[in-house]
Amino acid sequence: MAYVELIGFIAGLSTTIAFIPQVVKTWKTKSTKDISLKMYILFCFGICLWALYGVLNGLISIIIANTMTIILAVMILGMKIKYG
């Protein structure tokens, strides 16, 4: 069963790290014109639900990955609101 949790951690790490280039680019350019506000609001809501799902089921990999992802996604959302 440990390998299943390892797969979960690797999957979560991969999808979370995928947000870092967008955060850096948005931070540097201050441009959010090509980012959909509605999409990021819905995405952040969905990620919060995934994190809650992880909490309710005691799934550490889901909790950690989605908590990290929501932090990065909210950063992008905040920049979209501020610079958009």
Is 4's pLDDT higher than 90?
no
Q: Give the start-end residues of each E strand in the chain.
A: none
The reported pLDDT for the residue numbered 84 is 80
Model confidence band, residue 1 (pLDDT cutoffs 50, 70, 90): low
The maximal CA–CA distance of the chain, rounded, in angstroms, is 45
Q: List, for residues 30-74, the tens digit of each pLDDT value.
A: 999 888 999 989 999 999 999 999 999 999 989 999 999 999 999
CATH number for the domain that contains residue 29:
1.20.1280.290
The model carries a pTM of: 0.82
Q: Mean per-residue pLDDT for 8-35?
A: 91
Give the Cα separation of 21 and 24 in Å (integer): 5
Number of structural domains the chain divides into: 1
User: Which structural domain range is residue 21 located in?
Assistant: 2-83
Q: What is the residue whose two structure tokens read 């550490």? A: 60
